[in-house]
């Protein structure tokens, strides 16, 4: 079987595999096991909410990758990956969340049968879905293999986006703009927070025309007032209040490609300190966008941002952005480059970031952000086109 | 600071801590580090979408637990946990997704300063958020400690629910019923799948009256026709078709407590094989519910279910349920007991399960499920009250 509507062209998947194999060779790896669902999807097209059980993709130098996972999810692999059906391997259900067996015993058996018992095998040591137990089990079951840390090896290959990927991100950006427009149109004092979240999800998932919306890897975040000091609180049913600000950390998502987009809204007249913070933040954003040029470094964006904030007496102490693209929960970042003063990664055309200088202070918070594309020359281009400000409503 | 509206009473949190400490003592642990966000929330009340970075709760025998995580999320901990502010520890942002540092270095420093460098420390070896690298870093940084596997130690304490927890689950059940009613009222041939998902999210999050809806740990799953063979495919924009069945795997969620609830809908006249499967599945569900009695074993439910299915020629080969309650993505199960023939766990009053005998065959699928509560005597009680059938619509 093949996917009736694959996300990407065959040449795009071939490009990705070639890049991955080159990185494997540079790292001295015979084979690579990726359990990160974003990396699985990027290499094979695999889609589905099955990452709550152990599964993965194994990449070889001289043969197509294999998909390995729970037997019932092999039905999903048959319908989504580009490889032939005989490259799909399902393990028996008694391995699932067992107290006496571990799925990595099945993977080790399979790799041994395929002749890789003594291979140099890369694994993603710092990843949500490759657990400590998965690692120790694989080491025990493959005593003659060499298990090596390949954390983020695939993620780094994803940093520069292809034209096909950027096209998806533009679709996600149109969704993100529409979602934020809906927030600003609907929010008013007395509206319950969860009722607005219900509308946000409606706009996220209906999408724009034929460009249907996928689920973002993070839920809407919209803390108000003093709670806006806490960046990751989720909603409740408290009504929005006059005299309070709320930041909206949202995203549009098209076929797993994300455009995060944040704006803040104040109901009523904001206090002076918040207006000063807004002005400094917007100035910092503009300086950062101007520094976000091919050939500059990730740190240049952070340094450009910091200057106007420091002049306003605001010390953030946190990184101000991360790469974005294909992702699955719990994070829409790619976990490679960080926009912060110590990161010397050179910016390249086609890199995409969420430039995210959220201000989370002791008793207030403010978010105005842009998802950006590094271009061939000139400053970064913003995926969304909306005023860069704190919105005011009565 | 304290939470203005804590989910549970002080005595409920005290009960949980006492149970956890007893399990730690039985396992010979001095301290326990839990990174599972469900376990963190169950013990401390901590809430927030911050589990994409390393964080955790450390439990001691002779002092209140501590919350440890990223510094910006300490603001969320201050607002949600029951412990005093001096039990909250934030690590510096340069540990976040760094290529040269690991947050576990900070945790090891903290535990050392607190005098636990030689402790017997339990960690959750097979958990989404405790990575292989977190484990090896902790082992390296605490060479004189004994790091022991405490996978699911807290999860097992969560198996029997308190009255306060069951009250939350009844609220989630009202939401789940309303969500499913909405699906059945709205679905029709030609409707785009993502448009129905948008409505589903609206009902999930608006909730029922004052009982606002939280986000379920799994997104809506609703594959149709032959794709219903694949249990974990997510949506696209394909229209529902006459002559096709769709299963809806959904949940209501109240303050992180879940009631999963699945029904199938066929548009038009179902084929005979599907009607026979429905009849066998409903008979199996009823037999399983009758076997789900305190004093019986988890396996008794699976065995009771299997008989009518086998008579109809259906061999599932997968477990048919799991414990439910408090959860965070990517799974709404508790990952302890499995309803399958090898699991001899004795059922106790207050245990809650998703009795989930999904049928995922080669080219069709059917889901009719119940979330259940084991009662003092008699068969299990179902949280939701809706006809146990495949719904038919024109």
Q: Residue A47: which residues within 8 A CB-CB, separation 6 or more?
A: A41, A76, A80, A256, B233, B234
Cα A168 to Cα A178: distance, rounded to the nearest angstrom: 16
Pairing relationship of beta strands B66-70 and B56-60 according to DSSP bridges = antiparallel
Which residue, among A225, A230, A340, A360, would best test binding to B if mutated, counting the most B CBs under 10 Å from its CB?
A230
Q: Which residues of B touch A130 (CB under 8 A)?
A: 131-132
- pLDDT tens digits, B237-284: 999 999 999 999 999 999 999 999 999 999 999 999 999 999 999 999
Residue from B170, B262, B169, B183 nearest B218 by CA: B262
Q: What is the mean pLDDT of residues A201-209?
A: 98
Q: Residue B209: which residues within 8 A CB-CB, separation 6 or more?
A: none
- pLDDT tens digits, A9-22: 999 999 999 999 99
Cα B223 to Cα B233: distance, rounded to the nearest angstrom: 6
CATH 3.40.350.10 domain locations along chain A: 10-157
Judge: B360–A75 Cβ closer than 8 Å, yes or no.
Answer: yes
- pLDDT tens digits, B196-206: 999 999 999 99
DSSP string, B319-360: --EEEBSB--TT-SB-SS---STT--PBP-TTBEEEE---EE
Paired strand residues for B297: B346
When CB atoms are compared, the residue of B199, B219, B319 closest to A49 is B219
Mean of the per-residue pLDDT values of chain B: 97
Flag whether pLDDT at B362 surpasses 90: no
Tokens 């520069």, residue located: A160
Does B276 touch chain A if contact means CB atoms closer than 8 Å?
no
Residue from A384, A390, A387 nearest A176 by CA: A384
Task: Give how far A137 is from chain B: nearest CA, Å.
Answer: 10
Measured in degrees and rounded to the nearest 5, phi and psi for residue B147 equal -95, 120
Q: Tell me which residues of chain A, numbers 34 to 73, contact chain B at a CB-CB cutoff of 8 Å.
A: 47-52, 71-73
CATH 3.90.230.10 domain locations along chain B: 163-393
Other beta carbons within 10 Å of A155? 23
DSSP string, A361-385: -SS-EE---EEEE--SSSSPEES--
Paired strand residues for B70: B91
Contact predicate B132/A151, CB 8 Å: no
Per-residue pLDDT, B5: 81
Residue from B94, B12, B104, B5 nearest B58 by CA: B104
Both structure tokens of A185? 């149109």
Q: What is the mean pLDDT of residues A63-74?
A: 97
Which residue, among A330, A338, A344, A367, would best test binding to B if mutated, counting the most B CBs under 10 Å from its CB?
A330
Per-residue pLDDT, B99: 86
Flag whether pLDDT at A310 surpasses 90: yes
Q: Which residues of B touch A195 (CB under 8 A)?
A: 206
Measured in degrees and rounded to the nearest 5, phi and psi for residue A309 equal -65, -45
Contact predicate B135/B14, CB 8 Å: no
Task: Give how far B62 is from chain A: nearest CA, Å.
Answer: 28
Cα B82 to Cα B9: distance, rounded to the nearest angstrom: 10
Q: Residue A201: which residues within 8 A CB-CB, separation 6 or more?
A: A220, B198, B201, B202, B205
Judge: B93–A317 Cβ closer than 8 Å, yes or no.
Answer: yes
Both structure tokens of B80? 């949600």
Task: Give how far B178 is from chain A: nearest CA, Å.
Answer: 15
Judge: A205–B218 Cβ closer than 8 Å, yes or no.
Answer: no
Cα A218 to Cα A233: distance, rounded to the nearest angstrom: 12
- Given strand A257-267, what is the order of strands in its sheet? A244-254, A257-267, A390-393
Go through chain A and tell me how many residues it has.
394
DSSP string, A281-316: HHHHHHHHHHH--TTSBHHHHHHHHHHHHHHTT---
Cα A146 to Cα B131: distance, rounded to the nearest angstrom: 19
Per-residue pLDDT, B88: 98
Judge: A75–B229 Cβ closer than 8 Å, yes or no.
Answer: yes
Task: Give how far B199 is from chain A: nearest CA, Å.
Answer: 7
Which residue, among B99, B156, B250, would best test binding to A if mutated, counting the most A CBs under 10 Å from its CB?
B99
Does A79 touch chain B if contact means CB atoms closer than 8 Å?
yes
pLDDT level of residue B3 (50, 70, 90 thresholds): confident
The domain made up of B10-157 has a fold known as: Creatine Amidinohydrolase; Chain A, domain 1 (3.40.350)
Q: What is the mean pLDDT of residues A381-390?
A: 98
Mean of the per-residue pLDDT values of chain A: 97
Flag whether pLDDT at A394 surpasses 90: no
Per-residue pLDDT, A2: 65
Q: Which residues of B touch A342 (CB under 8 A)?
A: 94
Does B367 touch chain A if contact means CB atoms closer than 8 Å?
no
Flag whether pLDDT at B297 surpasses 90: yes
Tokens 């009795």, residue located: B355
pLDDT level of residue B394 (50, 70, 90 thresholds): confident
Both structure tokens of B299? 């396996």
Cα A303 to Cα A320: distance, rounded to the nearest angstrom: 10
Q: What is the mean pLDDT of residues B166-182?
A: 98
Q: What is the mean pLDDT of residues A68-78?
A: 96
Q: What is the mean pLDDT of residues A265-291?
A: 97
Q: What is the mean pLDDT of residues A106-112?
A: 98
Contact predicate A90/A110, CB 8 Å: no
Q: What is the mean pLDDT of residues A307-327?
A: 94
- pLDDT tens digits, A220-249: 999 999 999 999 999 999 999 999 999 999
Q: Which residues of A touch B356 (CB under 8 A)?
A: none
DSSP code of A213? P
Does A299 touch chain B if contact means CB atoms closer than 8 Å?
no
pLDDT level of residue B2 (50, 70, 90 thresholds): low
Judge: A72–B214 Cβ closer than 8 Å, yes or no.
Answer: no
Q: What is the mean pLDDT of residues B117-128?
A: 97
Q: Which residues of B touch A318 (CB under 8 A)?
A: 71-72, 93, 96
Paired strand residues for A261: A250
When CB atoms are compared, the residue of A206, A233, A237 closest to B198 is A206
Q: Tell me which residues of chain B, numbers 327 to 366, contact chain A at a CB-CB cutoff of 8 Å.
A: 329-331, 333, 335, 338, 340, 342, 360, 362
Per-residue pLDDT, A3: 73
Go through chain B and tell me how many residues it has.
394
When CB atoms are compared, the residue of A76, A92, A210 closest to B230 is A76
pLDDT level of residue A317 (50, 70, 90 thresholds): confident
Chains A & B: contacts with CB separation below 8 Å: 231
CATH 3.40.50.300 fits B163-393, yes or no: no
Flag whether pLDDT at B1 surpasses 70: no
Does B132 touch chain A if contact means CB atoms closer than 8 Å?
yes
Contact predicate B350/A351, CB 8 Å: no
Does B4 touch chain A if contact means CB atoms closer than 8 Å?
no
**Helix, strand, coil percentages for chain A (3-state, nearest 5):** 35, 20, 40
Tokens 């084929």, residue located: B271
Q: How many CA atoms lie within 13 A of B192 on its CB side?
A: 14
Burial B343-359 (b: 16+ CB within 10 A, else e): bebebeebbbbbbbbbb
Judge: A49–B210 Cβ closer than 8 Å, yes or no.
Answer: no
pLDDT level of residue B356 (50, 70, 90 thresholds): very high
Please state at what angle helix A132-141 crosses helix A103-113, rounded to 10 degrees.
40
- pLDDT tens digits, A365-385: 999 999 999 999 999 999 999
Burial class (CB in 10 A: 0-12, 13-18, 19+), A313: exposed
Does B134 touch chain A if contact means CB atoms closer than 8 Å?
yes
Contact predicate B123/B149, CB 8 Å: yes
- pLDDT tens digits, B145-171: 999 999 999 999 999 999 999 999 999
The sign of the dihedral angle between the CA atoms of B70, B76, B82, B86 is positive
Q: Tell me which residues of chain A, numbers 248 to 267, contact chain B at a CB-CB cutoff of 8 Å.
A: none
Residue from B155, B123, B161, B166 nearest B141 by CA: B123
Which residue, among A97, A134, A240, A340, would best test binding to B if mutated, counting the most B CBs under 10 Å from its CB?
A97
Q: Which residues of A touch B213 (CB under 8 A)?
A: 194, 198
């Amino acid at each position: 079987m093949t996917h009736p509507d694959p996300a990407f062209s065959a040449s795009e998947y071939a490009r990705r595999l070639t890049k991955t194999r080159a990185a494997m060779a540079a790292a001295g790896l015979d084979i690579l096991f990726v359990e990160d669902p974003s990396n699985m999807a990027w290499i094979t097209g695999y889609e589905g909410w099955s990452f709550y059980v152990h599964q993965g993709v194994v990449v070889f130098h001289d043969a197509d990758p294999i998909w390995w996972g729970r037997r019932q999810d092999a039905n999903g692999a048959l319908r989504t990956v580009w490889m032939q059906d005989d490259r799909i391997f399902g393990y028996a259900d008694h391995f699932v969340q067992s107290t006496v067996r571990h799925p990595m015993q099945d993977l080790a058996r399979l790799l041994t049968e395929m002749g890789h018992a003594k291979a140099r095998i890369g694994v993603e040591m710092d990843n949500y879905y490759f657990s400590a137990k998965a690692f120790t089990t694989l080491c025990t079951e493959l005593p003659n293999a060499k298990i090596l840390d390949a954390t983020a090896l695939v993620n780094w290959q994803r940093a520069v986006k292809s034209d096909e990927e950027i096209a998806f991100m533009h679709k996600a950006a149109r969704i993100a703009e529409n979602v934020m427009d809906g927030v600003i149109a609907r929010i008013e004092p007395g509206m319950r927070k969860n009722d607005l979240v219900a509308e946000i999800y409606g706009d996220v998932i209906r999408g724009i025309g034929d460009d249907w919306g996928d689920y973002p890897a993070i839920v809407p975040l919209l803390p108000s007032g003093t709670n806006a000091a806490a960046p990751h609180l989720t909603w409740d049913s408290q009504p929005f209040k006059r005299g309070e600000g709320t930041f909206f950390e949202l995203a549009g998502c098209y076929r797993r490609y994300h455009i995060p987009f944040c704006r803040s809204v104040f109901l009523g007249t904001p206090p002076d300190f918040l207006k000063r913070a807004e002005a400094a933040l917007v100035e910092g954003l503009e300086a950062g966008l101007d520094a976000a040029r091919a050939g500059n470094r990730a740190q240049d964006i952070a340094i450009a941002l910091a200057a106007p904030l420091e002049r306003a007496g605001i010390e953030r102490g946190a990184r101000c952005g991360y790469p974005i693209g294909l992702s699955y929960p719990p994070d829409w970042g790619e976990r490679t480059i960080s926009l912060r003063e110590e990161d010397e990664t050179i910016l390249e055309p086609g890199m995409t970031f969420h430039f995210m200088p959220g201000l989370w202070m002791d008793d207030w918070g403010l978010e105005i952000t842009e998802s950006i594309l590094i271009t061939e020359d000139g400053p970064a281009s913003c995926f969304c086109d909306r005023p860069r400000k704190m919105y005011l409503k009565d």
